[in-house]
A and B are shown apart, each in its own frame.
Chain A
């Protein structure tokens, strides 16, 4: 997928290096107990990458189980409303389970089965990755334990019920701030104590190497499809890609296949929560500093002593104090621009897409739409923006109703 033979020497697509580093970021900062497993996972992943049967099974499941390729959609009324560049969406919210998360889960569970693992664990924030993991576990008949912050269990009760319906055991995590980072801590604690039979399906392009690379590669189906669809529909590449970023897997999935196309600009959108000037945001790149957490060196929300601070976002899926290490590197290299939008802006964009296109987006891609709303009017009408609609909003209607003061 990432062969040096067909990428140019100065490519943005040939990282990480053999130690899992993206420049100063990434790596394998894990306890010694996990280190042999992480190395074993990398070996098995390399073998799987080289095995056409593995890729064929992945492709087959994406087509017939997930429903890929997802459509590439031109949004005419939103484009007209914004009065500038054409706005197109990659419709990953139409995937089975309602978000891009399933792409990665299919890849990782095939790898788990290949490695003879018999028990699956995962962390989840908004619940989308938990639902996707529970789904593939049901599909392949493997027991599944999902760690979810107790606060998120409350915020995302429909997804908790979905996971349970799918046969997963959902364990509320009460330590720390009881959100996504604490769920990830608990996932790592489970893994370290059950190394012999357990596979940890990490949900975003973060964690120790090879997870950031592996998750990116599984999610790159988004960008590969979009690139081919764009060329076939309009005969050229888009001018700007836009995607929301929590850990950053949907954005990397869209961006990565375009990184060596110099004409394509890219914009990653972080969650500014109540605003970047205070502490109530989840913008690790724009409001954080480099550090080490959860197996990798990356940008983190932290205090001057390196204690991790709690992120805030209206979107539970963006509410994480770190970010995938490849984004940290793409920021420093200047290849991708990053911005942030507030809870309010995301809510406005959520409603705008409902009203103009008849699509209820998740709160995560609502951040991308909010950025599109700002940037499209500044671009000429023949310019093309492609945004990743990475999840649908069914799970968020209660949160949105509450914020809009509507009683359901």
Chain B
């Protein structure tokens, strides 16, 4: 069992928390997320041109790069995290160019050495899997794919083929941030995906509050929260860990107990 499969094998839904590496005190922020109940960490690799992201994560990317964050720094945050938290799954999320810059094998090797469990690359669809997927699989890192409202039934098998770890269902056709999908639509799409796959399904984009997280946790295996956490990093800087802990605790409570309430 890998760290990801162990986490998603638990009977309760998982809370997946995203922050951008190098935006503030990354180690302290990550520790706050884990201590407050995050089950999986998504660590964003900053990129100059985050085409699928809304203003909050765009700004986080610019703050991080502005502070001089390099790929070596991102890998060091991962290595240090793995030493402090041997059992918490860690996923790198980002865009193709920084990942393939030194070659996919270099990246897969470095990520594996840093204790990374999975990689989400926004702009490598199944059609371009060769650019990174084989290198990741060879090192035992899960290539985590995204499915979206535009991924229709004919296309879904292609997305699932070669996906590992979990499937990230992007609940809205749009960029990361504030727009929210109807829970009915999320429920139907998650059910559709689960009919075709045994992979756990985590749902993200536009999830900001414990109430939303709870509603999604009733119908999915995981809930991803990003922009709301990233906004805290931007707003509070060095004071962010306490604020992150506050929001993450509430989200974790909501996600972890969502099904109990449902049963009761």
Residues of chain A within 8 A (CB-CB) of B155 are 35-36
Known contacts A29-B128, A32-B146, A33-B173; decide if A192 and B52 are in contact (CB<8 Å).
yes
- What range describes how many residues of B lie at the interface? 35 or more
The number of residues on chain A lying at the interface, defined by a beta carbon within 8 Å of a beta carbon of chain B, is: 36
**A14-36 Cβ-contact flags toward B at 8 Å (1 or 0):** 00000100000001111111111
**A157-194 Cβ-contact flags toward B at 8 Å (1 or 0):** 00000000000000000011000011001001100110
Residues of chain A within 8 A (CB-CB) of B100 are 291-292, 306
Q: Is the C-beta of A3 less than 8 angstroms from some C-beta in chain B? A: no
Evaluate contact between A308 and B52: CB separation under 8 angstroms.
Answer: no
Evaluate contact between A308 and B48: CB separation under 8 angstroms.
Answer: yes
Evaluate contact between A28 and B128: CB separation under 8 angstroms.
Answer: yes
Within the complex, the shortest CB–CB distance from A183 to chain B, in Å, comes to: 11
Evaluate contact between B48 and A176: CB separation under 8 angstroms.
Answer: yes
Residues of chain B within 8 A (CB-CB) of A32 are 125, 145-148, 150-151, 159, 170
For the complex, give the distance between the alpha carbons of A322 and B149 in Å.
Answer: 30
Known contacts A36-B155, A176-B49, A291-B100; decide if A30 and B174 are in contact (CB<8 Å).
no
List B153-178 residues whose CB lies under 8 Å from chain A: 155, 159, 170, 173-175
Evaluate contact between A33 and B97: CB separation under 8 angstroms.
Answer: no
Evaluate contact between B98 and A31: CB separation under 8 angstroms.
Answer: no
- From A113-121, A219-227, A267-275, A294-302, the one touching the partner chain is A294-302
Q: Is the C-beta of A305 less than 8 angstroms from some C-beta in chain B? A: yes
Evaluate contact between A29 and B98: CB separation under 8 angstroms.
Answer: no
**A272-302 Cβ-contact flags toward B at 8 Å (1 or 0):** 0000000000000000000111110100101
* Chain A residue nearest to B123 in the complex (CB): A29
Evaluate contact between A193 and B170: CB separation under 8 angstroms.
Answer: no
Evaluate contact between B71 and A305: CB separation under 8 angstroms.
Answer: yes
Within the complex, the shortest CB–CB distance from A367 to chain B, in Å, comes to: 25
Evaluate contact between A300 and B97: CB separation under 8 angstroms.
Answer: yes
Evaluate contact between A33 and B148: CB separation under 8 angstroms.
Answer: yes
For the complex, give the distance between the alpha carbons of A306 and B65 in Å.
Answer: 12
Q: Is the C-beta of A307 less than 8 angstroms from some C-beta in chain B? A: yes
Q: Is the C-beta of A195 less than 8 angstroms from some C-beta in chain B? A: yes
Q: Is the C-beta of B112 less than 8 angstroms from some C-beta in chain A? A: no
B47, B70, B98, B147: most-surrounded residue (chain A CB, <10 A): B98
Residues of chain B within 8 A (CB-CB) of A188 are 51-52
Known contacts A31-B146, A292-B97, A302-B101; decide if A307 and B125 are in contact (CB<8 Å).
no
Q: Is the C-beta of B131 less than 8 angstroms from some C-beta in chain A? A: yes
For the complex, give the distance between the alpha carbons of A295 and B125 in Å.
Answer: 10
Residues of chain B within 8 A (CB-CB) of A176 are 48-49, 62
A292, A294, A295: most-surrounded residue (chain B CB, <10 A): A292
* Chain B residue nearest to A305 in the complex (CB): B71
Within the complex, the shortest CB–CB distance from A186 to chain B, in Å, comes to: 9
List A300-359 residues whose CB lies under 8 Å from chain B: 300, 302, 304-308
Q: Is the C-beta of A110 less than 8 angstroms from some C-beta in chain B? A: no
Known contacts A32-B151, A189-B175; decide if A307 and B98 are in contact (CB<8 Å).
yes
Residues of chain B within 8 A (CB-CB) of A304 are 101
Evaluate contact between B52 and A189: CB separation under 8 angstroms.
Answer: yes
Evaluate contact between A192 and B97: CB separation under 8 angstroms.
Answer: no
For the complex, give the distance between the alpha carbons of A291 and B96 in Å.
Answer: 8
Evaluate contact between B173 and A175: CB separation under 8 angstroms.
Answer: no
Q: Is the C-beta of A41 less than 8 angstroms from some C-beta in chain B? A: no
Evaluate contact between B150 and A308: CB separation under 8 angstroms.
Answer: no
Q: Is the C-beta of A37 less than 8 angstroms from some C-beta in chain B? A: yes
**B101-141 Cβ-contact flags toward A at 8 Å (1 or 0):** 10000000000000000000011110110010000000000
Evaluate contact between B97 and A302: CB separation under 8 angstroms.
Answer: yes
**A377-407 Cβ-contact flags toward B at 8 Å (1 or 0):** 0000000000000000000000000000000
Evaluate contact between B97 and A306: CB separation under 8 angstroms.
Answer: yes
* Chain A residue nearest to B96 in the complex (CB): A292
For the complex, give the distance between the alpha carbons of A305 and B70 in Å.
Answer: 7
Known contacts A36-B152, A293-B97; decide if A29 and B175 are in contact (CB<8 Å).
no
Q: Is the C-beta of B58 less than 8 angstroms from some C-beta in chain A? A: yes
Which of A28, A30, A34, A308 meets B97, CB within 8 Å?
A: A308
Known contacts A192-B175, A195-B150, A195-B173; decide if A292 and B123 are in contact (CB<8 Å).
yes
* Chain A residue nearest to B52 in the complex (CB): A31
Residues of chain B within 8 A (CB-CB) of A30 are 123, 125
* Chain A residue nearest to B71 in the complex (CB): A305
Within the complex, the shortest CB–CB distance from B193 to chain A, in Å, comes to: 13
For the complex, give the distance between the alpha carbons of A72 and B192 in Å.
Answer: 59
Top 10 A-B pairs, shortest CB-CB distance: A306-B101, A193-B174, A306-B98, A306-B97, A292-B96, A33-B148, A308-B48, A32-B146, A305-B71, A35-B125
* 30 pairs of residues in contact across A and B, judged by CB atoms under 8 Å: A27-B131, A28-B128, A29-B123, A29-B131, A31-B125, A31-B148, A32-B145, A33-B170, A33-B173, A33-B174, A36-B150, A176-B48, A176-B49, A181-B49, A182-B49, A185-B49, A189-B54, A192-B52, A192-B173, A192-B175, A195-B150, A292-B123, A293-B97, A294-B49, A294-B51, A295-B123, A297-B131, A300-B97, A306-B47, A307-B47
Given contacts A32-B170, A304-B101, A307-B98, 16 further A-B contacts (CB under 8 A): A27-B127, A29-B96, A29-B131, A30-B125, A32-B148, A185-B49, A185-B50, A192-B174, A193-B173, A193-B179, A293-B97, A300-B97, A302-B97, A302-B101, A305-B70, A306-B47
